[in-house]
Amino acid sequence: MPLRSQPENALLEKIHRAFSAARRTRGGRRARALGDSLALGMGDDAALFLPTPGRETILTCDWFLESTHFLRDQHPADALGWKSLARAVSDIAAMGGEPRCFLLSLALPRDATGRWLDAFLIGLRRAAKRFSCPLAGGDSTQRREILINITVIGEVRKGRALRRDRAKPGDLIYVSGHLGEAEQGWRQLRKRGGRASRTEPGLKKHLYPEPRLALAAWLGEKRLATAAMDLSDGLSTDLPRLCSASRVGAIINPAGLPTVRSAAASAAESTNLALNGGDDYELLFTVSPAHAKKMPASFAGIPITQIGEITKAKKILLSRVSASPQILRPRGWDPFR
Amino acid sequence: MPLRSQPENALLEKIHRAFSAARRTRGGRRARALGDSLALGMGDDAALFLPTPGRETILTCDWFLESTHFLRDQHPADALGWKSLARAVSDIAAMGGEPRCFLLSLALPRDATGRWLDAFLIGLRRAAKRFSCPLAGGDSTQRREILINITVIGEVRKGRALRRDRAKPGDLIYVSGHLGEAEQGWRQLRKRGGRASRTEPGLKKHLYPEPRLALAAWLGEKRLATAAMDLSDGLSTDLPRLCSASRVGAIINPAGLPTVRSAAASAAESTNLALNGGDDYELLFTVSPAHAKKMPASFAGIPITQIGEITKAKKILLSRVSASPQILRPRGWDPFR
C-alpha cells in the first residue's frame, strides 16, 4: 500500500521536493544547506528553528490573494512565486533584519496544481535562494481561487531593530529607489490586458520587487535611522502610519520626490504615482540632522533621496514653491476603500 | 487631520485594542503581561520575539477558511475565534512545545467587520489567554468570504521536540481522549441545519477543541514518546503520515479504539467515526515497550488508550478478532478529494 497516496500529501511532497532539491542530503536526513538555523523542515507537525544567540526573532505574515492582489490571467506564475516571498521579506528589511526561513500557506484550485504550481515554485525558490530564506513548512488546501499567505521569520541584533515609532521632529525623511514605478507597470499591464511577459520593459518592479535588505541592515548596524518602514501601500498612506506611530507630523516636497521618468506620464502624473502608487517595497526612513552628512546619494546602486522633514505638528503637509502647503490625503492602497 | 482615518487602519486598531486591553500599559509603552517574550507587538512592520536561551523555536501555520473549514451561518463567530487558534496551537502541542505568540491574517467582507468581528475576537482572545499565546501581529484585507490564517510561534527545550519520524517497530501506539467526537458534533449540526448554540450538548469538541499541551509537554520532558503528532484529519489519514515519516507500518485493534458512546450511533458507526473523523486535535503517539508501564490510564482527566503497535512491514492493518487483518484506507479529511 502506498502510504503517501493521498492528493494533499502529493501536493505537499511536490512543494517539498522543489525545495529539498536545493539542499544536500546525507544518510537519509536533511542536512543544512539553505539555512543553518533550520533544525527541522517540512514533513512534521511544525518546523523547528534554532535562534541565534543575541538576536531577536522578527515575525511577519502577508496575504497575497487572487483577484485582490493579483490576476491569474495577467501575472506569470513564476513572478507570483517571487513576489509572494519578496513582499513579506520586505517587512523583515523594514525592521533592519535578515530573513531566516518562511512558511507557505497555499490554497489552490485543482487545475492549478500542475503547470501553474510548477512555475510558481520556480519563482518562489529563486526568491528563497536570493534572500537566503529557505522554506520551513506550511499548510495547503483546495479552493476555487488561489490564496497565498506567507510568514517570514527573520533575525536582528538585540536592540537594533528599525522601528516606526522613533522619528523625532527635525529628523530628515528619506526614501530609497524610485517611487511609483511598480504602480506604473501595473497600469501599463492593466491597460493593454493579456498576460505579462517576464521580461517586459517597465514591468520589472511590478513583477519582481527587490526588498531593500542590505540598505536597511546598514542603517540599523550604523544606527543611522531613527525610524523606518517599507513602502507597500504608497507614500501618502504609509508616511501617516510612521508619523502616527511616532506621534509626529511631516512636510514633504513633492517636487523633490524620486519619480519615474517616462514618456507615458506627465510630471504631474509621475508625482501622483510617487505619492500614491503602492507595491514599490522601497524603504522610508528618518535620520537625525546630526547624521545627515553620513547619508550617501546612493547605496549599492540604489538612489537615496531626502524628500522632507518630520514636524512636531501632527499633520502631513505637501509644500510646493509659490503656494501654501496642502494637506496630503492618504490615497494609496487600501483594501477596504 | 486624523492620521488613522483609513478603513484598514481602523480594522487593525480594533484588533489591536481587543488584545492590548489584556495588557498593562506603563509610560506609553507596552509592558509584558500576556507574554514575556514579546518585545514588540502589533503596529510595526513586523513583530519582535525574544527567544528563550536553550530552546528551539517551533513554527506552524494553519488555514481556516469559510466554506472549506467552517460555515458562517452555522458556526458562532466566537467559536471560530477559539478554534482558529486552538487548531494551530495543537501543532505546537504535537511537537511537545509551549506556544509563545501568534500572528493573525484576516480577510473579511465589509459586513463582517462589525458584530461578527467583535464576537470572533472575544473567542480568539479567550483562547489566547488560555494558551498563554498573545497576538504579536498580522495582516488584514477585504474579501468576499472570511479567510483566516494563523501562525503560531512556540518553544521547546533543545533536542526534546516530539517528532513524527522516530517510531520504531514494536513501539506501542497511543491516543489521548475520545476519537470521532468532533466529527459526530459536526454531523449533528449539519443534519439539523441552523446556527449552533455555544453550549449545545455534543458540539463542545467540534466548536471548542482543546489542544493537548500539558500531556505532550509531559511526554517530551520525560522522553516517553518516540514519535507524536496531532490528529487533525482523522486516524486513518494521520497514522499513515506518522508511519511514512518513520518508515514503518502499524497494526490497529479497531475494537479497542476510544470511541464516543452515543445513542445516535451504532458501535460500527462509532468505530468508523473514530477511524475517519477529523478535527479531534487529540495526540497520537508511540512509546517503546520498555516505557509502557509508565503510561497512565489517564492524564489530567484525559483518557490515554493503547490502540495498536508499530510494525516493520510498511502497511497499516486493522486486526479484528475472528477475521484476517484488513488494510486501513485513509478516509479522513482531504481537501483535494
Higher pLDDT: A8 or B119? It is B119
Q: Are strands A47-49 and A298-299 parallel, antiparallel or unpaired?
A: unpaired
Q: What is the pLDDT of residue A275?
A: 96
What whole-number distance in Å separates Cα of residue B38 and Cα of residue B32?
7
Contact check, Cβ <8 Å, A48/B156: yes
Contact check, Cβ <8 Å, A65/B229: no
Q: Which residues have CB under 8 Å from A234's CB, separation 6+?
A: A183, A275, A276, A277, A278, A280, A331, A332, A333
Output helix, strand, coil percentages for chain B, rounded to the nearest 5: 30, 25, 40
Check residue A312 and report its DSSP letter. S
Q: Grid coordinates in use for B301?
A: 482527566
Question: Of all helices (H) and strands (E), which one includes residue A283?
Answer: strand A282-287
Contact check, Cβ <8 Å, B48/A39: no
Which residues of chain A neighbour B69 with C-beta distances below 8 Å? 141
Among left, alpha and beta (phi > 0; psi -120 to 50; other), residue A149 is beta
- Is 80 exceeded by the pLDDT of residue A32? no
**Cell 479504539 maps to which residue?**
B257
pLDDT average, residue stretch A11-15: 85
Q: What is the pLDDT of residue B28?
A: 38
Q: Max Cα separation, chain B?
A: 80
- Is 50 exceeded by the pLDDT of residue B5? no
Residues in chain B: 337
Which residues of chain B neighbour A40 with C-beta distances below 8 Å? 161, 163
Which residues of chain B neighbour A57 with C-beta distances below 8 Å? 48-51, 57, 153
The residue of A4, A12, A49, A61 whose CB has the most chain B CBs within 10 angstroms, and thus the best one to mutate to test that interface, is A61
What whole-number distance in Å separates Cα of residue B155 and Cα of residue B54?
10
Contact check, Cβ <8 Å, A59/B5: no
User: pLDDT by residue (tens digit) across B166-197?
Assistant: 999 999 999 999 999 999 999 999 998 999 98
Question: Of all helices (H) and strands (E), which one includes residue B112?
Answer: none
Q: What is the pLDDT of residue B25?
A: 40
Q: What is the pLDDT of residue A21?
A: 57
Q: What is the pLDDT of residue B303?
A: 97
User: pLDDT by residue (tens digit) across B255-278?
Assistant: 999 999 777 778 889 999 999 999
Instruction: Give the least confident one: A287-301, A320-334, B287-301.
Output: A320-334
Higher pLDDT: B45 or B172? It is B172
Percent of chain A scored above 70 by pLDDT?
Answer: 92
Helices (H), chain B: 7-20, 77-94, 115-130, 181-192, 204-207, 213-221, 235-246, 267-276
Residue B208 contacts residue B86 (beta carbons within 8 Å): yes
Contacts of A204-209 spanning 24+ positions with Cβ under 8 A: A205/A181, A205/A279, A205/A280, A206/A181, A206/A182, A206/A279, A207/A75, A207/A76, A207/A79, A207/A82, A207/A83, A208/A79, A208/A82, A208/A83, A208/A86, A209/A83, A209/A86, A209/A87, A209/A90, A209/A182, A209/A279, A209/A280, A209/A281
Q: What is the pLDDT of residue A24?
A: 41
Residue A172 contacts residue A289 (beta carbons within 8 Å): yes
- Is 60 exceeded by the pLDDT of residue B44? yes
Q: What is the pLDDT of residue B17?
A: 85
Contact check, Cβ <8 Å, B53/A53: yes
State which residue of chain A sits closest to B45, comparing Cα positions. A91
How far is C-alpha B298 from the geometric centre of its chain's CA atoms?
20
A223: three-class secondary structure by DSSP: coil
Q: What is the pLDDT of residue B261?
A: 79
Contact check, Cβ <8 Å, B164/A43: yes
Q: Is A32 exposed, middle or buried (0-12, 13-18, 19+ CB in 10 A)?
A: middle
Nearest to B229 among A45, A136, A230 (CB): A45
pLDDT average, residue stretch A137-149: 94
In this structure, which amino acid lies at residue B48? L
Residue A107 contacts residue A143 (beta carbons within 8 Å): yes
Q: Grid coordinates in use for A189?
A: 499591464
State the DSSP string of B25-93. EETTEE--SS-TTEEE-TTSSSEEE-PPTTEEEEEEEEEEEBTTTB-TTTS-HHHHHHHHHHHHHHHHH
Q: Which residues have CB under 8 Å from A131's CB, separation 6+?
A: A85, A86, A89, A99, A211, A213
Q: What is the pLDDT of residue A261?
A: 79
pLDDT average, residue stretch A322-333: 84
Nearest to B105 among A5, A57, A63 (CB): A63
Residue A268 contacts residue A170 (beta carbons within 8 Å): no
| pLDDT, chain A, mean | 90
Contact check, Cβ <8 Å, A61/B138: yes
Contact check, Cβ <8 Å, A161/B335: no
User: pLDDT by residue (tens digit) across A235-258?
Assistant: 999 999 999 999 999 999 999 999
Nearest to A142 among B8, B314, B335 (CB): B335
The number of CA neighbours under 13 Å toward the Cβ of B111 is: 3
Nearest to A11 among B69, B153, B336 (CB): B336
Contact check, Cβ <8 Å, A7/B92: no
Which residues of chain B neighbour A63 with C-beta distances below 8 Å? 105, 107, 139-141, 147, 149
Contact check, Cβ <8 Å, B49/A56: yes
Residues in chain A: 337
Which residues of chain B neighbour A334 with C-beta distances below 8 Å? 6-8
Percent of chain B scored above 70 by pLDDT?
Answer: 92
Cβ-based neighbour number of residue B264 at 10 Å = 12
Q: Grid coordinates in use for B167?
A: 517510531
A237: three-class secondary structure by DSSP: helix
**Cell 478554534 maps to which residue?**
B83
Contact check, Cβ <8 Å, A61/B6: no
pLDDT average, residue stretch B59-73: 96
- Is 60 exceeded by the pLDDT of residue A208? yes
The residue of B3, B252, B314 whose CB has the most chain A CBs within 10 angstroms, and thus the best one to mutate to test that interface, is B3
| pLDDT, chain B, mean | 90
The residue ranges of DSSP E strands in A109-258, in sequence order, are: 135-142, 147-157, 172-176, 225-231, 249-252
Q: Which of A105-114, A193-202, B17-26 has the highest mean pLDDT?
A: A105-114
Report residue B89's pLDDT band, with 50, 70 and 90 as the boundaries: very high
A44-77 burial, b at 16+ Cβ within 10 Å, e below that, comes to: bbbbbbbbbeebbbbbbbbbbbbebbbebeebbb
Residue B140 contacts residue B188 (beta carbons within 8 Å): no
Q: What is the pLDDT of residue A8?
A: 74
Contact check, Cβ <8 Å, A4/B164: no
Report residue A324's pLDDT band, with 50, 70 and 90 as the boundaries: confident
State which residue of chain A sits closest to B113, comparing Cα positions. A336
Nearest to A107 among B49, B63, B165 (CB): B63
Distances (CA, A) of A286 to A69, A176, A219, B65, B177: 29, 11, 10, 39, 55
Which residues of chain B neighbour A44 with C-beta distances below 8 Å? 95, 163-165, 229, 245
**Cell 492524564 maps to which residue?**
B299
Which residues of chain A neighbour B92 with C-beta distances below 8 Å? 46
- Is 90 exceeded by the pLDDT of residue A90? yes
The residue ranges of DSSP E strands in A216-267, in sequence order, are: 225-231, 249-252
Which phi and psi angles does A297 have, rounded to 5°? -75, -25
What whole-number distance in Å separates Cα of residue A183 and Cα of residue A205?
9
- Is 90 exceeded by the pLDDT of residue A265? no
User: What is the nearest CA distance from A283 to chain B, expressed in angstroms?
Assistant: 11
Percent of chain A scored above 90 by pLDDT?
Answer: 77
User: What is the nearest CA distance from B198 to chain A, expressed in angstroms?
Assistant: 27
Nearest to A48 among B58, B101, B147 (CB): B58
pLDDT average, residue stretch B144-173: 96
What whole-number distance in Å separates Cα of residue A96 and Cα of residue B210?
38
ipTM (interface pTM)? 0.91
Nearest to A63 among B141, B230, B330 (CB): B141
Instruction: Give the least confident one: A118-122, A155-159, B8-12, B22-26.
Output: B22-26
Degrees to nearest 5, angle at CA A337 with A331 and B6: 65
Degrees to nearest 5, angle at CA B277 with B271 and B281: 115
Instruction: Give the least confident one: A3-7, A276-280, A314-318, B56-60.
Output: A3-7
- Is 50 exceeded by the pLDDT of residue A25? no
